[in-house]
């Protein structure tokens, strides 16, 4: 394992359809999408997600200690996530401390971009290597429907600012959902070309708090690629490393690249090298784990380093062989993406 994703908060200022769908628009979309099919009672009305009390969230000191220990076990890349990580104060200071830890080669951050402009300079000065933004639509009305709030123009400005400050590469994630934003796929590819950012198109995964995910709404990676090929002249790129999650293509004229993450239709579990630390101090070995491993208790009781390291080895060696999406025995995890850490 070389990649650790750390959720610093479960809180978010967006209510995205595929994560925290609490808006009336989200409820109506899933109800309409389920016309003619059975819709479970729990899927009809989305309830407000209960945020964890601050005392249950890991402190920065606890996070730094955990990163220091995992770096000794081979972790080299850190990604700060949430929720929306920039809702938590002092993130730049956390990044600066993580950058000092021997062995850590890369620190990235994933954000919805809404608060990025306020913190951009501090993040750059702290040593943040890369920025990834979430932007699922280029249409202001559709953006609001998908995220639960206005703000598309500000997100685009944040993407542009990240490029100006020299974060590289700047990536933009878009979750593609049938009958919601799949008609914008080609426009999002063009946005990547025009703005020289790396788009990542992600299959819709069952990680929403409303438990409303439907397989019929998944636009497969194969379908995305076929549509993109019909409009753009592209060629495949070799993976940067064996554990890369996205299959990548570049425009033949050299004007940018994009990737497709097909977690549902083409799982890459066998080469996964990621661990995820939740905001409340549990370690997950898969996005779809039903078992979490409590490290907060060890950290808060000042357990010796070797006790934490021994537990870490046990957890890593017990990593699941893969998720079960598409199988009859698949059960969606209780945790929403906002808490798992992306």
Q: What is the 3-state secondary structure (H, E, C) of the chain?
A: CCEEEEECCCCCCCCCCCCCCCCHHHHHHHHHHCCCCCCCHHHCCCCCCCCCCHHHCCCHHHHHHHHHHHHHCCCCEEEEECCCHHHCCCHHHHHHHHHCCCCCCEEEEEECCCCHHHHHHHHHHHCCCEEEEECCCCCHHHHHHHHCCCCHHHHHHHHHHHHHCCCCCCEEEEEEECCCCHHHHHHHHHHHHHHCCEEEEEECCCCCCCCCCCHHHECCHHHHHHHHHHHCCEEECCCCCCCCCCEEEEECCCCCEEEEECCCCCCCHHHCCEEEECCCCEEECCCCCCCCEECHHHHHCCCCHHHHHHHHHHHHHCCCCCCCCCCCCCCCCCCCHHHHCC
Say how many domains are in the chain. 1
Calculate mean pLDDT across residues 206-210.
57
Q: Picking from 57-61, 109-113, 117-121, 206-210, which range would have the lowest pLDDT averaged per residue?
A: 206-210
At residue 43, the pLDDT reads 44
At residue 205, the pLDDT reads 79
> For residue 296, is pLDDT > 90?
yes
Domain that holds residue 26: 3-340
Q: Residue 64 maps to which CATH number?
A: 3.20.20.70
Mean pLDDT value across the chain: 86
The residue with greater pLDDT, 319 or 113, is 113
User: Model-level pTM?
Assistant: 0.87
pLDDT bin (cut points 50, 70, 90) of residue 322 is low
Q: Picking from 55-59, 241-245, 280-284, which range would have the lowest pLDDT averaged per residue?
A: 241-245
At residue 188, the pLDDT reads 98
pLDDT bin (cut points 50, 70, 90) of residue 264 is confident
């Amino acid at each position: 394992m070389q990649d650790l994703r750390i959720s610093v908060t479960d809180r978010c200022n967006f209510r995205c359809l595929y994560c925290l769908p609490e808006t009336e628009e989200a409820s109506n979309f899933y109800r309409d999408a389920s016309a003619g099919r059975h819709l479970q009672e729990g899927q009809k009305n989305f309830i407000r997600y209960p945020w964890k009390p601050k005392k249950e969230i890991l402190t920065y000191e606890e996070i730094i200690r955990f990163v220091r220990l995992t770096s000794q076990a081979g972790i080299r890349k850190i990604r700060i996530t949430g929720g929306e990580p920039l809702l938590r104060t002092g993130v730049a200071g956390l990044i600066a401390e993580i950058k000092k830890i021997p062995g850590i080669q890369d620190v990235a951050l994933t954000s919805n971009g809404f608060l990025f402009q306020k913190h951009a300079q501090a993040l750059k000065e702290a040593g943040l290597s890369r920025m990834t933004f979430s932007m699922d639509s280029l249409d202001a009305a559709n953006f609001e429907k998908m995220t639960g709030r206005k703000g598309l123009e500000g997100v685009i400005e944040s993407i542009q600012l990240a490029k100006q400050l020299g974060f590289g590469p700047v990536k933009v994630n878009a979750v593609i959902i049938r009958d919601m934003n799949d008609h914008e796929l080609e426009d999002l590819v063009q946005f990547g070309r025009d703005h020289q950012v790396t788009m990542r198109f992600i299959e819709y995964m069952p990680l929403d708090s409303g438990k409303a995910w439907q397989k019929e709404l998944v636009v497969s990676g194969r379908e995305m690629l076929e549509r993109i090929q019909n409009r753009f002249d592209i060629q495949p790129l070799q993976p940067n490393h064996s554990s890369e999650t996205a299959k990548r293509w570049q425009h033949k004229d050299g004007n940018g690249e994009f990737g497709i993450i097909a977690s549902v239709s083409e799982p890459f579990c066998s080469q996964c090298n990621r661990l995820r630390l939740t905001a409340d101090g549990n370690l997950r070995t898969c996005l779809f784990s039903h078992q979490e491993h409590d490290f907060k208790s060890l950290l808060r009781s000042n357990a010796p380093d070797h006790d934490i390291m021994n537990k870490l080895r046990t957890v890593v060696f017990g990593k699941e062989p893969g998720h079960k999406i598409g199988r009859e025995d698949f059960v969606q995890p209780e945790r929403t993406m906002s808490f798992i850490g992306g």
